[in-house]
Amino acid sequence: MFGLETDIFVLLFICILCACAFEFVNGFHDTANAVATVIYTNSLKPTTAVIWSGFCNFLGVLLGGIAVAMGIVNLLPVELLIDQNVYHSIAMVLALLLSAIVWNFGTWYFGLPSSSSHTLIGSILGVGLAFSVMPEASEGAGVNWSKAGEIFGSLLLSPLVGFSLAVFLMFLLRRLLNKEAREQVFSEPKKNQVPPLWIRVILIITCTGVSFFHGNNDGQKGVGLVMLILIGVVPAYFALNEKIEPQSMKANIVAIEQTMNKIDTTLLGIEEKRQLAKVKGSTQDLTRLIALPTTDGKVSQDERLDARRDVLVINSNLKKLMDSESVNLSAADEKILKESTDDKKGLRRFTDYAPFWVVLMISLSLGLGTMVGWKRIVVTVGEKIGKTHLTYAQGASAELVAASTIGLASGFGLTVSTTHMLSSGIAGTMVDSKGIKNLQAKTIRNILMAWILTLPVSIFLSFTLYIFFRWIL
């Protein structure tokens, strides 16, 4: 299959299986956060809640697009993504997947709501750093630090956002609801007693939202992982989207070239001139590639990796040029460049894609994983963050904050942590109710420790595993 030798095909299968395993573990590790509130408020039976959440996660991945997925793919620089040695690519994906699985499974075993997003990104950074010390790595290769900075920013801010918004929402509920409604929503659920219908509906809706947007955001990371595998191992088939005619690139290339010619090169520094030269060289190369005659109207398999490289080089260097104060482009010119490189009508629509079978496979893995092993995390979220029982208002507030912020992040293609959003939201509601003393110090300490350790541990694991796999493969 794909013209691969038997041993490489077996390794490819193992890599894809590991990606599914990561998403499966992600399901019962992260999605458990979404069902904790409806279970502990007696809004849904545990079995019903877990099955429903799994289904919503499935839909979230299936309907969520691939903006977040491509953010994961583009975390690694061009040099690593297009490494011609297939065994090096396999070593890369095996290292980052196994390190992520090990850490996620370990934190789940101890019932710690650790972030799968942090784990995955740490693992990717680890293999990127390991690649940077390899003899074939060019200067600066290994990690796309500008993209890493964007992702770090969203991940680090998410707990603060979750905590603050949950406190604010609890404040609003106290101010806006009448006395009777306040007494209902701020009361602790009675054992085995279903809450009033309107409260139950709200809690189920918020649980649905968190589950769907978890699939929408976290599930896309699994899609990104599989695309990393496919691009690295079989670039001839997956480096470019074959459903789009390469001739349609021509208008984008012409627009880019015409806009680049407007730049006053006398104002540019050495680095900006180098970036401009890369863009012009890659546009010329793309023009040559799409002009080559082919029998099926597509870029030939031998040329697809080069075409992908050119698109990525153009995109990354244009971003740097537009951010430079030395580049004298008008707002209209910058708009043209952004439209010519975006994933809707620009060049990136050829590289930023995922086949339907990849999305479906990850959807099923995440959905099924949600239905397994959920209890450990649910107990921590529902019983061990606060000293008091979760009230209806607390559950709804935490879920609403998590659902809205995760959904918004997905819309902008940002990576956020469902775990951090919901756990910090619940902590915020507990503090709002009875102050900071209402938090269980041991649990908060363990969660913070997991939060602090996730990145360095996952980086170390993937760094070590990559070097090991490079040695044996």
The stretch 364-389 carries a mean pLDDT of 74
Two tokens, residue 287: 């023009």
Whole-number Å distance between alpha carbons of 170 and 394? 7
Query: Residue 277 — φ and ψ, nearest 5°?
Result: -65, -40
DSSP string, 150-176: HHHHHHHHHHHHHHHHHHHHHHHHHHH
- Which of 41-45, 357-361, 398-402 ranks highest by mean pLDDT? 357-361
User: For position 461, what pLDDT does the model report?
Assistant: 93
pLDDT-wise least confident of 356-370, 400-414, 445-459: 400-414
Q: Nearest CA to 223 among 358, 383, 39, 64?
A: 358
For 29-33, 191-195, 349-353, 434-438, which range has the lowest pLDDT when averaged over its residues? Answer: 29-33
Spell out the domain ranges in the chain. 6-237+354-472, 240-349
Model confidence pLDDT, tens digit, residues 264-311 = 888 888 888 998 999 999 999 988 888 776 656 677 777 787 888 888
The full DSSP string for 44-105 is S-HHHHHHHHHHHHHHHHHHS-SHHHHHHHTTS-HHHHT-S-HHHHHHHHHHHHHHHHHHHH
Question: Rounded to an integer, what distance in angstroms lies between the CA atom of residue 123 and that of residue 462?
Answer: 5
Cα separation, 275 vs 298, in Å, equals 29
> Between 5 and 282, where is the model more confident?
282
Residue 242, both tokens: 């074959």
User: What count of other Cβ atoms lies within 10 Å of the Cβ of residue 269?
Assistant: 11
Q: What is 233-267 written as a DSSP string?
A: H-HHHHSS-TTS-GGGHHHHHHHHHHHHTTS-GGG
- Average the pLDDT over 237-260 and give the result: 86
Task: Please determine, for residue 230, whether its predicted confidence score (pLDDT) is greater than 80.
Answer: yes
pLDDT band at 235 (very low <50, low <70, confident <90, very high): confident
pLDDT of 92-148, one tens digit each?
888 988 998 898 888 877 777 677 777 888 888 888 888 877 776 655 555 566 666
Q: pLDDT averaged over the chain?
A: 80
What is the Cβ-side half-sphere exposure of residue 148, based on CA atoms within 13 angstroms?
16
Residue identified by tokens 């009033």 is 196
Residue 219's pLDDT band (boundaries 50, 70, 90)?
Answer: confident
SS3 label, residue 82 = coil
Q: Tell me the C-alpha distance between 315 and 36, whole Å.
A: 42
Q: How many helices (H) and strands (E) does the chain have?
A: 20, 0
Report residue 298 CA to chain centroid gap: 30
What is the pLDDT confidence band of residue 401, given thresholds at 50, 70 and 90? confident
Distance CA(146)–CA(319), nearest Å, equals: 10
Residue 125: what residue type? L
Is the per-residue pLDDT at 78 higher than 60? Answer: no
CA distance 447 to 33: 13
pLDDT one-digit tens code per residue, 143-173: 566 666 666 666 677 778 888 888 888 888 8
Alpha helices in 371-440 (DSSP H): 375-379, 392-411, 418-434
| Residue 35 vs residue 257, higher pLDDT | 257
Judge whether residue 37 has pLDDT over 80.
no
Lowest average pLDDT, out of 71-75, 322-326, 446-450, goes to: 71-75
**Interacting residues of 385 by C-beta distance below 8 A, sequence separation 6+:** 423, 426, 427, 430, 439, 440, 443, 444, 447
Question: Are 422 and 225 spatial neighbours (Cβ–Cβ below 8 Å)?
Answer: no
Distance, CA of 95 to CA of 100 (rounded, Å): 9
Q: What per-residue confidence (pLDDT) applies to 283?
A: 92
pLDDT at position 295: 57
What span, in angstroms and rounded, lies between the C-alpha atoms of 247 and 127? 35
Q: Distance between CA 40 and CA 46 in Å, rounded?
A: 9
Q: Residue 463 and residue 373: Cα distance in Å, rounded?
A: 29
251 to 47, 290, 292, 346, 368: CA distances (angstroms): 54, 12, 17, 9, 44
Q: What is the pLDDT of residue 149?
A: 64
The answer, yes or no, to whether residue 426 has pLDDT greater than 80, is yes
**Axis crossing angle, helix 32-40 with helix 392-411, rounded to the nearest 10:** 160
pLDDT at site 361: 92
